[in-house]
């Protein structure tokens, strides 16, 4: 038993080191710290002007430094806020590491504040764009700190102000906590069906929150803001920490929206296709080989784009590519005849979980 625990811990540490290596290889950053020599030199010699005044009197607030602790999905989401006579003329997004398709959706927010005074803009209650929740939060928080600075009120936000109190976040938190806690003490088929439905509708379709390779690499690269990312943090705990206490595959079986969708689709037909043990073993080996090839390619610095094609993003259907939506449809239909086909024979993220917990 002790050897098994040591093996699990070793496998988990190894996977973390591999993820760190991929984050450095792709973004040259770990937890928000830029590791490039040039970036270090620039940080010492170049200072971003937080506030500047243009010739026509327009005041421009740059939130690069003000919002350095505010994270979107892939990292910081700095803005330039243009004010003239205390009215917002425009808001411009600066260079960031967000997924382009998702950020394009979130960028619809940039015009919401146009024409408002700083007081009016700060008083506005703006909901994030469905399908780009984390990027939306990054934009909204950067707007708030930039306008507070413009009013010479750039005090640190309180503990309560840093937490996302939106209905979407609170309901998502309740659902993920239910999935993380209740199955530990209560085994009930009817409840499980309800939980699966909630995982799909609330966590997947409404919140657009799930663990994917993209999320893991982004968090390792840019860091994570615990006040606005409570739901994914709980998911990560169930995926990587629970197995250390004997709860292997807990996230996949009880929380993952994609796994829940396959489970519910499978209820449509009791009789499944029969697969020999040799076929199942072969497909399992091919899954590991597929994962190994993807990891080698990323460590070699190529093909990071494959992460955008994991079928989890189909839940964010407004931003998902047509290819991902088609793949998700095929997997869902196949789930009627084969139990959890994507989870068992393809999923790279699930393979990472299995290897991290010492399994195959």
Over the stretch 47-84, which tens digit does the pLDDT of each residue have? 677 888 888 888 889 998 888 888 887 788 899 999 98
pLDDT 10s digits, 197-234: 999 999 999 999 999 999 999 899 888 878 778 999 99
All structural domains of the chain: 1-36+188-357 (no CATH), 51-151 (3.30.390)
Question: Which structure tokens are listed for 163?
Answer: 């937490």
pLDDT value at position 334? 96
Q: Which residue has the higher pLDDT, 122 or 335?
A: 335
pLDDT (tens digit per residue) in 226-255: 877 899 999 999 999 999 999 999 999 999
Instruction: Express each pLDDT in 4-31 by its tens digit.
Output: 888 889 999 999 999 999 999 988 888 8
Tokens coding 155? 């005090």
d(CA 211, CA 258): 10
* 83 backbone dihedrals φ, ψ, rounded to 5°: -125, 135
Which pLDDT does position 39 carry in this prediction?
A: 52
Share of the chain above pLDDT 70, in %: 93
Q: Is the pLDDT of residue 175 over 90?
A: yes
Q: Report the range of poorest mean pLDDT among 2-6, 161-165, 328-332.
A: 161-165
pLDDT digits (tens, 9 = 90+) for 142-162: 998 888 888 765 445 566 666
pLDDT at 154: 44
| Distance separating the N- and C-terminal Cα atoms of the chain | 18
**Mean pLDDT throughout 299-313?**
89
pLDDT for 47: 62
Of residues 117 and 359, more confidence is placed in 117
* pLDDT for 89 beyond 70: yes
Dig out the tokens for 271 from the structure: 């009789």
Which has the closest alpha carbon to 144: 42, 61, 20?
61
Place of tokens 């413009």: 150
Mean pLDDT of the chain: 87
């Amino acid at each position: 038993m002790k050897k098994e625990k040591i093996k699990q811990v070793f496998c988990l540490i190894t996977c973390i080191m591999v993820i760190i290596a991929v984050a450095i290889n792709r973004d040259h950053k770990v937890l928000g710290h830029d590791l490039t020599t040039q970036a270090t030199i620039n940080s010492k010699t170049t200072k971003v002007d937080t506030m500047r005044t243009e010739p026509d009197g327009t005041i421009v607030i740059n939130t690069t430094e003000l919002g350095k602790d505010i994270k979107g999905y892939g990292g910081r989401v700095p803005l330039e806020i243009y004010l003239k006579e205390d009215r917002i003329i425009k808001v411009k997004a600066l260079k960031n590491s967000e997924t382009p398709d998702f950020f394009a959706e979130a960028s619809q927010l940039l015009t919401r504040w146009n024409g408002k005074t700083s007081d009016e803009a700060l008083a506005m209650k703006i909901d994030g764009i469905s399908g780009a929740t984390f990027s939306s939060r990054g934009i909204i928080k950067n707007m708030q700190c930039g306008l507070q600075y413009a009013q010479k009120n750039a005090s640190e936000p309180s503990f309560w102000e840093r937490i996302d109190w939106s209905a979407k976040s609170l309901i998502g938190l309740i659902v993920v906590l239910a999935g993380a806690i209740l199955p530990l003490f209560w085994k009930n088929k009817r409840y499980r069906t309800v939980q699966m439905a909630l995982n799909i509708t609330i966590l997947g379709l409404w919140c657009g929150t799930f663990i994917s390779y993209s999320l893991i690499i982004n968090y390792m690269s840019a860091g994570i803001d615990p006040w606005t990312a409570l739901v994914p943090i709980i998911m990560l705990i169930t995926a990587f920490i629970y197995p250390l206490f004997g709860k292997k595959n807990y996230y996949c079986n009880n929380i993952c929206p994609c796994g829940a969708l396959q489970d519910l689709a499978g209820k449509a037909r009791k009789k499944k296709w029969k697969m020999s043990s040799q076929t199942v073993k072969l497909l399992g080996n091919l899954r590991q080989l597929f994962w190994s090839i993807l990891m080698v390619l990323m460590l070699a610095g190529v093909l990071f784009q494959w992460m955008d094609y994991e079928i989890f993003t189909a839940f964010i259907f407004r931003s998902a590519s047509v290819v991902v939506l088609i793949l998700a449809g095929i997997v869902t239909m196949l789930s009627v005849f084969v139990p959890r086909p994507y989870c068992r024979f393809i999923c790279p993220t699930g393979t990472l979980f299995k290897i991290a917990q010492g399994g195959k």
